[in-house]
Amino acid sequence: MLTPTQIRQFDESGYILVPDILLDDPLCQIRSVAQDMGAREPHRNSWNERSCFRRPHFLRMFDAPLLIGVAEALIGQDMQLLQFDLLRTRSDDAEPEWHRDTDFSCSKTLAISMAIYLQDTPVGAGPLMVVPGSHRRDEGPPTLYGNLPDQVPVPVKRGAAIIHDSALWHRASLDGPGIDCWALFPIFGRFWMKRRDVDCLQPPPATVLALTAPLQRQLFGFNLRDHAPTFLGGGEQYNRRGDAGVDFLPLQ
């Protein structure tokens, strides 16, 4: 799903752009449902997985082979969905802050974030801003707001995804006057990583609990597919994306 050049670019800069990760049919349905959600709650700008996955249209995106293939290429066969948000940004929003999606950084990618845009998002219409290479820095962003000297805007076409290491410094930019910018933000991590925040105190929606396909159940953290290599505290020779060498030595 990804070329060696793309994987090298991801490792070095911390992000890549993948066009058409969602095709027109699911994209149009998701955008229609998102706009309806926004019209019902006009003062709200974010909806988490508990809200979104009550609506089966959002679950359809995980049938997209390119999306799943890219996640596997960057994380491994034991990838799971750690978080999912639908976000709307507007020109009258508060100034977006620089942040990381994870509090840790290291020499290997443990989690990836996707920003999947539901409309064309050129410069001036709210593209994501990133600082290339910041995913390998120990420290977080030096300032919460404003421009950074090494920031880069990443304009995209509808259905495209900016895929970045979750430790990369990034922020949204404000849209032009009267423009609503809609985007989906799934975060994928390895199966042995689990969330413990307040959003996980409630059980998943019934639409998720009813899933039976092995890949879908793995994505939502219920159980791992047969023969998917992972590291769960045993002696598995688990390594990153099939690279030579072992990330974790077997326990003695």
Q: Quote the mean pLDDT of the chain.
A: 86
Residue 243 has pLDDT above 60, yes or no: no
Q: Which of 102, 28, 27 is nearest to 67 (CA)?
A: 27
pLDDT of residue 240: 47
Query: Tell me, which fold does domain 4-242 have in CATH?
Result: Jelly Rolls (2.60.120)
CB 20 within 8 A of CB 163: no
Q: Collapsing DSSP states into helix, strand and coil, what is residue 81? A: strand
More confident residue, 36 or 197: 36
Residue 246: pLDDT above 50? no
Task: Please state the domain extents for the chain.
Answer: 4-242
CA-to-CA dists, residue 223 to 112, 227, 235, angstroms: 20, 12, 19
Instruction: Dump pLDDT digits (tens) for 137-186.
Output: 988 898 888 889 999 999 999 999 999 999 999 998 876 666 788 999 99
Q: Which helix (H) or strand (E) holds 47?
A: strand 46-48
Residue 194, pLDDT > 70, answer: yes
Confidence at residue 174, expressed as pLDDT on a 0 to 100 scale: 77
pTM: 0.88
Q: At what angle do helices 65-75 and 4-13 cross, to 10 degrees?
A: 60
Residues contacting residue 26 through CB under 8 Å, at least 6 positions apart: 57, 60, 61, 63, 64
pLDDT digits 0-9 by tens, 11-34: 999 999 999 998 888 899 999 999
- The rounded percent of the chain whose pLDDT value lies above 90 is 52
pLDDT number for residue 176: 64
pLDDT band at 84 (very low <50, low <70, confident <90, very high): very high
Please check the confidence at residue 231 and state whether its pLDDT lies above 90: no
Does residue 234 surpass a pLDDT of 50?
no
Q: How do residues 97-138 score in pLDDT, each as one tens digit?
A: 999 998 877 778 889 999 999 999 888 777 899 999 999 898
